[in-house]
Amino acid sequence: MKTKKSSFDEHEVLHELKHFLPAQAPLKDFIHHNTLHAFQNLKFYDATRNASKMFGYKVSLSLDEFRKLYKSHHIRKDILEKMVLERKGSEHFNEWMGHLVSKKYNTEIEPRIGLMRSYWKNEYHIDLDLLIQPILFRILCSYLDQGISIWNFPVSHKGFLDSIREMERNSFTSFFKSERVRKLLLNNTCEIKALLELVVGDESFYEQYLFDQQFAHQGWSGMVSAIEDQPQSLLDRKKISLHDLIVFELLLEIDALDNKFGEIWTPLANRINNKPIDLFEEVPKTELDEVYLIWQDAFEWTYYDEVLAGIKTEKKSNNAIANKSFQAMFCLDDRECSFRRYLEKFDSSCETFGTPGFFGVEFFFQPEHGKFYTKLCPAPVTPKYLIKELETNSKRKKDVHFTKQTHSLFRGWIIAQTLGFWSAFRLFINIFKPSMSPATASSFAHMDKFSKLTIQNNNVTDIENELQIGFTIEEMANRVEGLLKSIGLVKDFAPVVYVIGHGASSVNNTYYAGYDCGACSGRPGSVNARVVSFMANHPDVRSVLKSRGLEIPTETQFVGGLHDTTRDEIVFFDENSLSPKNLESHHKNELIFSKALDINSKERSRRFESINTKLSPEKIHEKLKIRSVSLFEPRPEYNHATNTLCIVGRRGLTKNLFLDRRAFMNSYDYTIDPEGKLLFGIMKPLGPVCGGINLEYFFSRVDNQKLGAGTKLPHNVMGLFGVANGADGDLRPGLPSQMIEIHDPIRLLIIVEHFPNVVLETIQKLPEMYEWFNNEWVNLVAVNPETEEFFVFKNGMFSNYEPLKKSVGVLSDVTSLIESSQENLSVYELN
């Protein structure tokens, strides 16, 4: 994988380490990303094979699981045979079918990581991890703490190591037991290399030793590395670096060894007679690897083939709707998939669109009285604008149970005997009649519905902390134009155009940020929806747009809104600015929305054990709302679980398909973009955003223990930025089992409606974008819009694909289907 050097280059090794450590940001900024991002420069199967051997990750379903899926026809026989034929030819066909279906393999995973450090245990009979980790984690957590502890880390402005040094210098007690180590810290610069010489002794071992050491607690190391790179991800900023962590850990190791053996012990390298295999050495391909690979492909294509067959057979309906009642824009999020379907069902003259949920407006948002700015656009973007919220009148409610007074001795004494009994009552109410409380993270609380926003910039010198307050007319026009063109909405406007962001509500959920809109950096999209509507309604903006050839009729009005995906509720903003006629039709539309929300909650409820899906939509909806505020409900919703598809094209391409809430849908009209200029803007974020979501679910599902967070039921909140098991555990990045249990690990299939050559040119425009496709982290199919042929992208080119499945089931009403099963459903054609 990389060339070996015998000398130790600290800078390079730290860089490498940071590259491989988990990159999850603190909880409040939880954003999905590819768990194996460090391997993205490799082809998917090479990456997983290497990751598994190096770090011991399980990277696919187990052989037994695949075989079970095959037996239950969830992996189709014809697909599997096709895969084997393609890869092995007819002469090895029978042999390989045998390998796949029945041959016994040793499937144990024996990772390389940890081998070197295991010599401590085997040769020195000392368990360094056990001796060091609890105190190391506690010190780290206290240093980084965002507001749990009452008594803060006494020194913090100096950086981690210097703060420790400062405390050691002025203290009667010490973190160390060995005087030597204390002196080392106080009188020495503590170079990593010098410490490693003491501990390990042989320079050629250093790199692997540090990998072993840091990957023994990859959660904490990853968090330190993430905070080092993005200090702004903590509101109460902390200066820390992976370098400091390593130095401190090495000191603790020397301390533990000194304490056990006195100051004379021989460095580790002297006791290693058999140097463990190098971590980065090429991982050979085995027969078993290929077996996994074929199974995975067959599993994926069983699903893909059905979807493509569905697209092929369904009746396309790209005919323009004559008298549009309304148009509505949603986030491309897979959770909006079914909601849009129901809206279109209940009002056949409406039209819906999907686009990333920040709606093309990027800015920082400052709620009134807020001490910080919140970024409301995709994470990699750094906006130059600030939008402030003014004139709010909602009040934040407090809950004394979370306050620090309850933990003090004397006030605690009084509180226990007064509030304690109130707690009993609250607990009772919370269990038998759950309701909104200050503990709930509510999407509607993100912005006060009746507040004012500083959307329009009055003066370009109006700048706060280097951010321009509001947008100028020109800037607004650019954004509205970009948004409308990208989704193909350039003519035939309906009188009312809704722009609906989304967010989620939950309680007792440390992953709350992951449930909100990823395109808004893990926040609800309400402000963006309102801002872009304001822009599109602005007469000056409209005249600029008109001069550019994009004419929005004066009677057309945009209305912002927010869809709460957990509670299936919707709120609209600035409705009073609607014209009387539009207001009237808005009231009519609201009924449609409300009906669609009810039935949407019914469809969602089929996944929930505690709700009987056969009940009426209204009843289910009530239960669903209660569920979202129930303390004891670890699954307020299933978020992106089961996502597998991303459709880029006109609504007509899949409008009549039942896709079981598994598709991201980005509206795009190839006819107004023959060269694929707009397509580039659409496809650029699909890898990191949709692909990232998909792969995080994928890997958390296949190895929930090492790549996911395990079950969330015992989680303990550490310093408000992470979760761990119990009091002394490592941080657990990744997704908990409750989020991924129904997810099938299938890579995202992106289906683009355009000519293959245009798609190819588009994805090749940017190397990091091309990597996603060429290395197969996502799969790509182009649909030729004229011939409706499919072209699969593989090894740098598109080749024709004819679905094996000839037709899919036909349904007129999905009710009986959704009532029938909790499992993933097949693709159906709706008529």
Partner 1 sequence: MTPLLQLFILIPLIGFLISLLIPGKKETLISWTAFTVVGLHFGTFLVFVIYWLLHNHPTLNLKDIVVFKTEGYEFLVDFCFDKITAVYLFVGAFLTFLVTVYSRYYLHREAGYKRFFNTILFFYLGYNIAIFAGNFETLFIGWEILGICSFLLIAFYRDRYLPVKNAIKVFSVYRIGDVGLILAMWMAHHLWHLNITFLQLRNDELVHSELETHSLIGVFISLMILVTAAVKSAQLPFSSWLPRAMEGPTPSSAIFYGSLSVHMGVFLLLRTFELWEHQTSVRILIAILGLSTSIVATLIARVQSSVKSQIAYSSISQIGLIFIEVACGFEKLALFHFAGNAFLRTYQLLVSPSVVSYLIREQFYNFIPRKQTIEDSFPKKIEYSFYTLSLKEWNLDLFLNSILWNPIKFLGRRLDFLTIKRLLLLFIPAYIIGLITLYTKPTIPSEIHEYLPTFFSFIGLIMVFKAFTERKSIVLSWMLIIMNHFWIALAVSFNENFEYSQVHLYLSGVIVAGIIGYICLLKLQSAEKDLDLNQFYGHSYEHPKLAFIFLLSCLGLAGFPITPTFIGEDVIFTHVHEDQAILAFFTALSLIINGIVLIKMYARIFLGPHIKTYHETPYKSS
Our CB check for partner 1 shows the closer of 360 and 514 to be 514
Kindly tell me which residue out of 104, 369, 395, 806 binds partner 1, with binding defined by CB under 8 A. Answer: 369
The C-alpha angle with vertex 792 and arms to 667 and 670, in degrees rounded to 5, equals 30
Rounded-to-integer distance, Cα 801 and Cα 346, Å: 35
* Residue found by looking up tokens 């009924």 in the block: 591
Decide: helix, strand or coil at residue 88: helix
CA-CA distances (angstroms) from residue 115 to 55, 176, 609?
11, 27, 44
By CB under 8 A, residue 808 contacts partner 1: no
Query: Of how many residues is the chain composed?
Result: 831
By CB under 8 A, residue 109 contacts partner 1: yes
DSSP string, 651-708: GGGTTTEE-TT-EEEEE--GGG-TT-HHHHHHHTTHIIIIIHHHHHHHHHHHTTTTTS
Kindly tell me which residue out of 186, 390, 672, 727 binds partner 1, with binding defined by CB under 8 A. Answer: 727
Stretch that binds partner 1, among 104-112, 466-474, 475-483, 527-535 (CB under 8 A): 104-112
By CB under 8 A, residue 53 contacts partner 1: no
- Min dist CB 530 to partner 1, Å, is 20
Stretch that binds partner 1, among 88-96, 310-318, 598-606, 726-734 (CB under 8 A): 726-734
Pairing of strands 374-375, 452-453: unpaired
- Min dist CB 107 to partner 1, Å, is 4
By CB under 8 A, residue 479 contacts partner 1: no
DSSP string, 271-299: H-SSPPPPTTSPPPP-HHHHHHHHHHHHH
- 403-432 positions binding partner 1, by CB under 8 A: 406-409, 412-413, 415-421, 423-424, 426-428, 431-432
Our CB check for partner 1 shows the closer of 509 and 533 to be 509
Kindly tell me which residue out of 133, 178, 241, 526 binds partner 1, with binding defined by CB under 8 A. Answer: 133
By CB under 8 A, residue 395 contacts partner 1: no
Kindly tell me which residue out of 10, 741, 761, 819 binds partner 1, with binding defined by CB under 8 A. Answer: 741
Q: Based on the number of CB atoms within 10 Å of its own CB, is 542 exposed (0-12), middle (13-18) or buried (19 or more)?
A: buried
- Min dist CB 519 to partner 1, Å, is 20
In angstroms, how far is the first alpha carbon of the chain from the final one? 53
Our CB check for partner 1 shows the closer of 149 and 820 to be 149
- 313-352 positions binding partner 1, by CB under 8 A: none
Rounded-to-integer distance, Cα 716 and Cα 143, Å: 17
Our CB check for partner 1 shows the closer of 5 and 157 to be 157
- Min dist CB 54 to partner 1, Å, is 14
Our CB check for partner 1 shows the closer of 57 and 359 to be 57
Count of residues binding partner 1 (CB under 8 A)?
113
- 252-271 positions binding partner 1, by CB under 8 A: none
Site string for partner 1, 134-173 (x = CB under 8 A): -x--xx-xx-xxxxxxxxxxxxx----------x--xxxx
- Min dist CB 61 to partner 1, Å, is 11
Our CB check for partner 1 shows the closer of 404 and 546 to be 404
By CB under 8 A, residue 609 contacts partner 1: yes
- 210-229 positions binding partner 1, by CB under 8 A: 216-219
By CB under 8 A, residue 704 contacts partner 1: yes
Kindly tell me which residue out of 380, 714, 796, 809 binds partner 1, with binding defined by CB under 8 A. Answer: 714
By CB under 8 A, residue 822 contacts partner 1: no
Rounded-to-integer distance, Cα 684 and Cα 691, Å: 11
Strand partners of residue 646? 664, 750
- Min dist CB 753 to partner 1, Å, is 39
Our CB check for partner 1 shows the closer of 37 and 217 to be 217
Stretch that binds partner 1, among 204-212, 541-549, 721-729, 807-815 (CB under 8 A): 721-729
Rounded-to-integer distance, Cα 613 and Cα 819, Å: 6
By CB under 8 A, residue 601 contacts partner 1: no
Decide: helix, strand or coil at residue 270: helix
Contact by Cβ (8 Å): 501, 520: yes
- Min dist CB 514 to partner 1, Å, is 12
- 280-299 positions binding partner 1, by CB under 8 A: none
* Residue found by looking up tokens 């042929």 in the block: 789
Which token pair is 591?
Answer: 């009924």
Q: Rg (Cα) of the chain, in Å, rounded?
A: 28
User: By C-alpha distance, which of 627, 636, 606, 605 is closest to 511?
Assistant: 636
The single-letter DSSP state of residue 641 is T
Our CB check for partner 1 shows the closer of 406 and 472 to be 406
Measured in degrees and rounded to the nearest 5, phi and psi for residue 216 equal: -70, -20
By CB under 8 A, residue 28 contacts partner 1: yes
Pairing of strands 663-667, 645-649: parallel
- 619-648 positions binding partner 1, by CB under 8 A: 630-634
Our CB check for partner 1 shows the closer of 396 and 806 to be 396
DSSP string, 385-438: EEEEEES--------GGGSGGGGSHHHHHHHHHHHHHHHHHHHHHHHHS----T
Our CB check for partner 1 shows the closer of 162 and 197 to be 162
By CB under 8 A, residue 806 contacts partner 1: no
- 112-131 positions binding partner 1, by CB under 8 A: 129
By CB under 8 A, residue 724 contacts partner 1: yes
Neighbours of 523 (CB within 10 A): 27
Q: Based on the number of CB atoms within 10 Å of its own CB, is 799 exposed (0-12), middle (13-18) or buried (19 or more)?
A: exposed
Stretch that binds partner 1, among 43-51, 567-575, 705-713, 762-770 (CB under 8 A): 705-713
Neighbours of 615 (CB within 10 A): 15
